[in-house]
Chain A
Amino acid sequence: MPVITFNKKDLFNLIGRELKDEEIEEIVNSFKSNIEEITEEEIKVELTADRIDMFTIEGFARVLKGLIGIKMNEVKIHDSKITVFKEDVPVRPFIACAIVKNVKMSDLLIKSLMNSQEILHETIGRGRKKVAIGLHDFDKIKGKIFYKGVSRNEKFVPLGEKEEMSLIDVLAKTEKGKKYGKLIIEANKWPAFIDEEGIFSFPPILNSERTKITENTKNIFIDVTGTDKNLVNKVLNILVLSFSERGYKIEGVKIKGKKEEYTPEWIEKPLEIEKSYFAKILGREFKENEIENLLKKMGYKTLFKKDKIIVITPPYRTDIISKIDIVEDLAIAFGYNNFEPELPNIFTVGGIHPIEKISDEIREALVGFGFQEIVRPALTNSEKQFKKMLLEEKETIKIENPVSESYTQLRVWLLPDLMEFLSKNTKEPYPQKIFEIGDVVLPEKNEETLSKNVRKVALAIASSGSFFAEVKRIALEIAKKLNIEISFEDYNHPSFINGRCGKIIHNKKEIGFFGEINPEVLENFKVYIPVAALEMELNPNPRE
């Protein structure tokens, strides 16, 4: 969830009045967002990923206005009579443009615009892939405007540079080029906005130095480009809303490609909802005027038609997928804490999963034998699982993107973790008797996830003397709890002393082993006391 910092003064300006810190906190907390911090000058808010219209300070202010009950401005789109001639650019096929007139530029506004752009790029824009925004000084653009695919050898002076550079050099040499070049590099033709004087925008990489926004800029040309038509239009609407909230005049632009379009596509979409739907979802009846007022707070207009309500959704809301989203907004406006919670009268029989039930029984039995339970992570590494235990490396489930060398794969057995535990506690008094019950994950080609969970128990006794017999005795006790017959067989397991290891057999299948740990393993873990250990499956007869 993005955390965004807004300037308080600017925010109050946009809302139209000042708010006390407690007031802001109360309003913001009644919404999806969370206040992270309020200082003298700024508020830091955590916003949810669905409400990208709130990522700009103007959009955020508009929501606050609604919640306080201040009337929201209407957005009007005027005609600019400007046309952008659009050619086919397969790598970035969709564009939407608009012009903002009579802007009073200030450092604060420039900073806030940059913040808005940045956050929209990284969130909904998916790192500029789906959507990228360019803002330009409209008065520096000369003549007809084209959007077309150009050769990588075309040149322009990119933002922040003094010399002309070819587009390929922009990708190779500039910071933004290196970061976002991958989005277009494989295409034949690269996207560019061009006027009489050449390229003034190279989406999604860089704008031009020539048309950059300065404190003297009066009129702004917005270009939004991307790979998702709907989002390109929605993001332009969010920007349009931002400028409109500041009282600037918005002008639309004709996009002339194979078809003729007009952007911004400021269309208030009607959504038809049965009146009873609100009560059905929320469990509370709402009167018509209640619905009307609550939805108004959230920026919707409503029309009532017999048993239906027509809800007009604002053009900048990217998150409205279906009518349920409107219901949530109504519930938010009503206040979640104003509902009366109620437990439904439905009868079901609860119960613990069989594997957890048997695990609990074994836990209790082992505690009775004086063992301390330990809980260790399921993630481990090959060194611990195999090498230190003197085993050949076996197939395991490995992570493709590990964050630490210690945790690169899922464990296939528990005993190495018990050994590691003992090695961390050599200063603690002996005897040490420990056990763990947990899942291991084994590769299994026939399963849909190419693997299966196996619930296991492992235990270890670190103490002077031989505890071979005791561990064997406990194996029998576990088998009794599992209600299975087991038998023992000699086992040559490298982790154990040769001749002091047994295989535990059930239904002719190996379900575990026990014995005294090989002194070489003890050396590997720096445990200088004999250890007897056991490991055994707890679901030898899995129930389907």
Chain B
Amino acid sequence: MQYFLTEEGEKYLQIGLPEKRLIEYLEKNGNVEIEVAEREIEDLNIALLWAKKKGFVEIKFNRIVLIKKPENFPEEEALKKIKEGREKEISDELIKILLQRNLIEKAKYEHLEELKGKEIPVLNSELIKSGFWREVKIKKYSIDIPPAEIYPGKIHPYTKVIKEVKEFLISLGFKEAKGPLVELNFWNCDALFMPSDHPAREIHDIFFVSGEGKIKEKEIWKNVKETHESKWGYWDEKLAKKLILRSHCTAISARELSKSKNLPIKIFAIDKVFRPDTIDAKHFIEFEQCEGIVADENLSFKHLLGYLKEIAKIFGSKEVKFKPSYFPFTEPSVEMYVKIEKLGWVEAGGAGIFREEVTHPLGVKVPVLAWGLGLGRLAMLKMNIDDIRYLYSDDLKWLRER
């Protein structure tokens, strides 16, 4: 006949029998009230039951009184022996008490007898508990058979790249901003000093949606109108009210500048933008952009280059090169190139200082450094892919194997 410890038995073997813990407590602290003991001693009811039965304690006026200190606790020693497989050293009487206290269980292993000497395919908990594993042969596995696939849940590789970029920017002190996917032409273009007839505002470059938006910021609307009329000589108000799908995250920067009045401002956005295009390995009609702005007194072009040099590190590049560029809303404008192993110099993003024609109508009177990263390219580099469609991949096998 074999026995093994129940969960409770295992527990008491570790922390001590309840009555033992009670008596040790009383020895140390003197007699105590039941309420106090309840707080201090786990399983107090069980402890009291057995300590009273064995005549170690009595209850007097709601206090637990130690009347006799036992020499030893045979049950605890028995538990230890059973655990070690030395149950033959324990008296039947003690076994009976342990069974009664539900600290041990009988193992019923008769059915295992027929396995004796045989080869078994799988080891199970019964075999281990019973020790019967010693009587069987465990079948040998062939080590060369390829295992079945396991598919753990995973975060999309593109999400990971985006998160990495975010964490980097946050470490530089940038705060994340958001904006609507359906945007007013006003915030996407006009507030950025793009003339009403700018070629990038035509249907080849912007998705239009039906309806006219509402302008809440009347003051800014008026300022932008005046700027366009004085600098470009005209302004198409109806076009400014037109709703579109946001075509760049600079729209978010413009909105943010119009509301944040406390300097310094350091904001970034990573979000979706939409542009009509052919759909192929290099182009898709929606993609993520990463843009940031820094606004404060006394900022200058060298600071812009300073930020770009820092941001280049996201690409894993220590070297950075700058090149003049053109954006309607920044002056000076710059393009950043980073050095990527194997590829050489790669265009990484554009930047500039917002023109006063952009900042003044928004009520901002300090220099605003603005930069944007080619997030798709960065992701493709980090994910080691050359087809942009993998960023939105519908291929589960590919995702599982990443």
Asked if B277 lies at the interface with its beta carbon under 8 angstroms from chain A, I say yes
CB distance from A462 to the nearest CB of B (A): 10
User: A residues within 8 A CB of B334?
Assistant: 336
Q: Cβ of A428 and Cβ of B181 under 8 Å apart?
A: no
Tell me, in angstroms, the Cα distance from A353 to B322 when the chains sit together.
Answer: 31
CB distance from A426 to the nearest CB of B (A): 10
Q: Cβ of B300 and Cβ of A283 under 8 Å apart?
A: yes
Asked if B169 lies at the interface with its beta carbon under 8 angstroms from chain A, I say yes
Asked if A350 lies at the interface with its beta carbon under 8 angstroms from chain B, I say yes
Q: How many residues of A contact B (CB 8 A)?
A: 91
Q: Cβ of A342 and Cβ of B303 under 8 Å apart?
A: yes
Q: Which of A284, A321, A425 contacts B395 (CB 8 A)?
A: A425
Tell me, in angstroms, the Cα distance from A51 to B324 when the chains sit together.
Answer: 12
User: A residues within 8 A CB of B264?
Assistant: 346-348
Find the B residue at minimum CB distance from A433. B153
Q: A283-B300, A401-B203 are in contact. Are A373 and B180 (CB under 8 A)?
A: no
Asked if B231 lies at the interface with its beta carbon under 8 angstroms from chain A, I say yes
Asked if A108 lies at the interface with its beta carbon under 8 angstroms from chain B, I say no
Interface string of B300-343 (1 = CB under 8 A from A): 11110111111000000000111111101001111000000000
Q: Cβ of B182 and Cβ of A450 under 8 Å apart?
A: yes
Q: Cβ of B153 and Cβ of A353 under 8 Å apart?
A: no
Q: Cβ of A441 and Cβ of B181 under 8 Å apart?
A: yes
Q: Cβ of A400 and Cβ of B303 under 8 Å apart?
A: no
Find the A residue at minimum CB distance from B246. A449
Q: A130-B197, A346-B266, A398-B209 are in contact. Are A48 and B302 (CB under 8 A)?
A: no
Find the A residue at minimum CB distance from B298. A344
Interface string of A421-435 (1 = CB under 8 A from B): 100110011001110
- Chain B contact surface mostly: mixed
Q: Which of B294, B309, B367 contacts A341 (CB 8 A)?
A: B309
Most buried by B among A336, A350, A351, A370: A350
Tell me, in angstroms, the Cα distance from A425 to B153 when the chains sit together.
Answer: 16
Q: Cβ of A321 and Cβ of B214 under 8 Å apart?
A: no
Find the B residue at minimum CB distance from A367. B153
Asked if B45 lies at the interface with its beta carbon under 8 angstroms from chain A, I say no
User: B residues within 8 A CB of A48?
Assistant: 325-326
Most buried by A among B174, B243, B245, B302: B302
Asked if B135 lies at the interface with its beta carbon under 8 angstroms from chain A, I say no
User: B residues within 8 A CB of A407?
Assistant: 285
Beta-carbon contacts under 8 Å, B213-238 to A? 213-216, 231, 233
Q: Which of A337, A356, A376, A439 contacts B181 (CB 8 A)?
A: A439
CB distance from B387 to the nearest CB of A (A): 15
Could you say which of A153-161, A286-294, A327-335, A476-484 contacts chain B? A327-335
Interface string of A354-372 (1 = CB under 8 A from B): 0110001001101111111
Asked if B184 lies at the interface with its beta carbon under 8 angstroms from chain A, I say yes
User: B residues within 8 A CB of A425?
Assistant: 394-397
Q: Which of A348, A372, A450 contacts B243 (CB 8 A)?
A: A450
Q: Cβ of B178 and Cβ of A353 under 8 Å apart?
A: yes
Tell me, in angstroms, the Cα distance from A1 to B350 when the chains sit together.
Answer: 14
Q: A331-B301, A336-B305, A399-B245 are in contact. Are A363 and B323 (CB under 8 A)?
A: no
Q: Cβ of B180 and Cβ of A451 under 8 Å apart?
A: yes
Q: Which of B155, B166, B301, B307 contacts A282 (CB 8 A)?
A: B301
Asked if B102 lies at the interface with its beta carbon under 8 angstroms from chain A, I say no
Q: Which of B173, B302, B332, B392 contacts A340 (CB 8 A)?
A: B302
Q: Cβ of B324 and Cβ of A341 under 8 Å apart?
A: no
Most buried by B among A336, A349, A363, A376: A336
Q: A343-B307, A403-B277 are in contact. Are A448 and B214 (CB under 8 A)?
A: yes
Q: Cβ of B181 and Cβ of A32 under 8 Å apart?
A: no
User: A residues within 8 A CB of B400?
Assistant: 372, 428
Asked if A82 lies at the interface with its beta carbon under 8 angstroms from chain B, I say no
Asked if B147 lies at the interface with its beta carbon under 8 angstroms from chain A, I say no
Q: Cβ of B170 and Cβ of A373 under 8 Å apart?
A: no
Interface string of B151-165 (1 = CB under 8 A from A): 111111011000100
Find the B residue at minimum CB distance from A230. B233
User: A residues within 8 A CB of B170?
Assistant: 350-352
Q: Cβ of A449 and Cβ of B296 under 8 Å apart?
A: no
Q: Which of A343, A360, A450 contacts B306 (CB 8 A)?
A: A343
User: B residues within 8 A CB of A10?
Assistant: none
Q: Which of A336, A398, A410, A424 contacts B324 (CB 8 A)?
A: A336
Asked if A378 lies at the interface with its beta carbon under 8 angstroms from chain B, I say yes
Q: Cβ of A350 and Cβ of B171 under 8 Å apart?
A: yes
Asked if B286 lies at the interface with its beta carbon under 8 angstroms from chain A, I say yes
Could you say which of B76-84, B125-133, B352-360 contacts chain A? B352-360
CB distance from A349 to the nearest CB of B (A): 7
Asked if B211 lies at the interface with its beta carbon under 8 angstroms from chain A, I say yes
CB distance from B209 to the nearest CB of A (A): 5
Asked if B190 lies at the interface with its beta carbon under 8 angstroms from chain A, I say no
Instruction: Please classify how large the interface on chain B is, using the bins under 10, 10 to 19, 20 to 34, 35 or more.
Output: 35 or more
Q: Cβ of A371 and Cβ of B324 under 8 Å apart?
A: no
Asked if B43 lies at the interface with its beta carbon under 8 angstroms from chain A, I say no
User: B residues within 8 A CB of A284?
Assistant: 301-302
Q: Which of A325, A369, A401, A449 contacts B331 (CB 8 A)?
A: A325
Q: Cβ of B276 and Cβ of A228 under 8 Å apart?
A: no
Asked if B391 lies at the interface with its beta carbon under 8 angstroms from chain A, I say yes
Q: Cβ of A331 and Cβ of B332 under 8 Å apart?
A: yes
Asked if A420 lies at the interface with its beta carbon under 8 angstroms from chain B, I say yes
Tell me, in angstroms, the Cα distance from A363 to B159 when the chains sit together.
Answer: 10
Find the B residue at minimum CB distance from A355. B178
Tell me, in angstroms, the Cα distance from A353 to B267 when the chains sit together.
Answer: 11
Asked if B380 lies at the interface with its beta carbon under 8 angstroms from chain A, I say no
Q: Cβ of A343 and Cβ of B310 under 8 Å apart?
A: yes
Asked if A541 lies at the interface with its beta carbon under 8 angstroms from chain B, I say no
Tell me, in angstroms, the Cα distance from A31 to B325 when the chains sit together.
Answer: 8
Q: Cβ of A377 and Cβ of B392 under 8 Å apart?
A: yes
Find the A residue at minimum CB distance from B347. A34
Tell me, in angstroms, the Cα distance from A114 to B156 when the chains sit together.
Answer: 52
Asked if A469 lies at the interface with its beta carbon under 8 angstroms from chain B, I say no
Find the B residue at minimum CB distance from A126. B197
Q: A332-B324, A373-B159 are in contact. Are A401 and B306 (CB under 8 A)?
A: no
User: B residues within 8 A CB of A19?
Assistant: none
Asked if A80 lies at the interface with its beta carbon under 8 angstroms from chain B, I say no
Tell me, in angstroms, the Cα distance from A123 to B174 when the chains sit together.
Answer: 38
Q: Cβ of A328 and Cβ of B300 under 8 Å apart?
A: no
Q: Cβ of B197 and Cβ of A374 under 8 Å apart?
A: no
Q: A344-B303, A399-B208, A410-B182 are in contact. Are A372 and B396 (CB under 8 A)?
A: yes
Q: Cβ of B322 and Cβ of A337 under 8 Å apart?
A: yes
CB distance from A318 to the nearest CB of B (A): 12
User: B residues within 8 A CB of A373?
Assistant: 153-156, 159, 399
Q: Cβ of A350 and Cβ of B279 under 8 Å apart?
A: no
Q: Cβ of A324 and Cβ of B156 under 8 Å apart?
A: no
Asked if A339 lies at the interface with its beta carbon under 8 angstroms from chain B, I say yes
User: B residues within 8 A CB of A432?
Assistant: 396
Q: Cβ of A328 and Cβ of B180 under 8 Å apart?
A: no
Q: Cβ of B326 and Cβ of A32 under 8 Å apart?
A: yes
User: B residues within 8 A CB of A348?
Assistant: 173-175, 264-266
Beta-carbon contacts under 8 Å, A486-520 to B? none
Q: Cβ of A449 and Cβ of B213 under 8 Å apart?
A: yes
Find the A residue at minimum CB distance from B336. A336
Tell me, in angstroms, the Cα distance from A404 to B265 when the chains sit together.
Answer: 40
Asked if B177 lies at the interface with its beta carbon under 8 angstroms from chain A, I say yes
User: B residues within 8 A CB of A344?
Assistant: 294, 296, 298-299, 303, 306
Can you list 8 A-B contacts with CB-CB less than 8 angstroms, sorted by A residue number?
A336-B334, A346-B173, A350-B174, A351-B175, A360-B163, A373-B399, A448-B184, A448-B213
Q: 8 closest A-B pairs (Cβ-Cβ)?
A: A283-B300, A283-B302, A48-B326, A341-B305, A350-B170, A328-B332, A336-B322, A425-B396
